[in-house]
Amino acid sequence: MNIAVDIDDTLTNSFTYFQSYVAEFFGTSLQELTDKNISYSNLPASWQAEELAFCRKYYDRIVPKTPFKPDAAWGIAQLRQRGHRIIIITGRTTAFYTDPVATTQTELANGQIQYDQLICTLNKAQACQQEEITIFLDDLVKNCQAVAQVQVQPILFNSPENTQQSSQWPRVNDWHQAVGLIESMTD
């Protein structure tokens, strides 16, 4: 089976890691961001005009050092050992990165993530269709909605951004749960 996996807050702990950079760039305190549950992926509307400048200043430099979830490499390895093809689909483009593929390959190597293919695109639903994806793991509700519309089964990875959002899809907290759920879906 072809399984698509997002990176930020699915394989990694990006939300918390990026907060100090968001605080630095936007001139606010880390405590304020923590109190208001704000990071790179859910900037207030008044800050969004500067989002591209933020990305260009930090992403190439800091993304390869993003900490991975403790069980991410294990979970992906388990799925591959069970015969599944792993396609990493991440919303990274040259609008945000000098070289999104190279930066992402370095990051995945740092996290010891084994995968079969890497796709950098903002249109994850289209990528899922082209790669004949069966199951898609992501932390953003909007991405899960998009892939569900093209008959791909989403699994929502809980993250600080989405815990207050309602979702009709199964949720997981870690890669042990993700592997167990995928196996139950494929039996």
Condensed to tens digits (0 to 9), the pLDDT of residues 44-69 reads 999 999 999 999 999 999 999 999 99
Query: 26 and 57, same structural domain?
Result: yes
Q: Which long-range contacts (CB under 8 A, 24 or more apart) does 150-159 make?
A: 150/125, 150/126, 152/4, 152/125, 152/128, 153/185, 155/181, 155/182, 157/6, 157/9, 157/10, 159/9, 159/10, 159/15
For residue range 121-131, list pLDDT tens digits in order.
999 999 999 99
- What range does the domain containing 22 cover? 15-64
Q: Compute the mean pLDDT over every residue in the chain, rounded to the nearest whole number.
A: 96
pLDDT at 166: 87
Q: What is the pLDDT of residues 171-187, one digit of tens each?
A: 999 999 999 999 999 87
* Pair (53, 128) in one structural domain: no
Task: Give the pLDDT score at 161.
Answer: 85
- Do 110 and 156 reside in the same domain of the chain? yes
Contacts of residue 61, Cβ cutoff 8 Å, sequence gap at least 6:
none
- Output the pTM of the full model: 0.94
Q: Tell whether the model's pLDDT for residue 160 goes beyond 80.
A: yes
pLDDT at 130: 97
| 7 and 40 fall within a common domain | no
d(CA 20, CA 30): 6
Which of the four pLDDT bands, split at 50, 70 and 90, describes residue 25?
very high
Quick one: 146 and 85 in the same domain?
yes
pLDDT at 132: 97
Task: Write out the E strands in the chain.
Answer: 2-5, 85-90, 117-120, 135-138, 153-157, 171-172
pLDDT at 13 exceeding the cut of 90: yes
Q: What is the CATH number of the domain that holds 159?
A: 3.40.50.1000
In terms of domains, do 174 and 114 share one? yes
Please indicate, yes or no, whether residues 84 and 171 belong to a single structural domain of this protein. Answer: yes
Q: What is the number of structural domains in the chain?
A: 2
**What is the rounded distance in angstroms from the CA atom of residue 172 to the CA atom of residue 109?**
24
pLDDT > 70 in the chain, percent: 100
Give yes or no: residues 9 and 25 share one domain.
Answer: no
Tell how far CA 57 is from the center of its chain. 20
47/144 Cα distance (integer angstroms): 25
| Per-residue pLDDT at 156 | 97
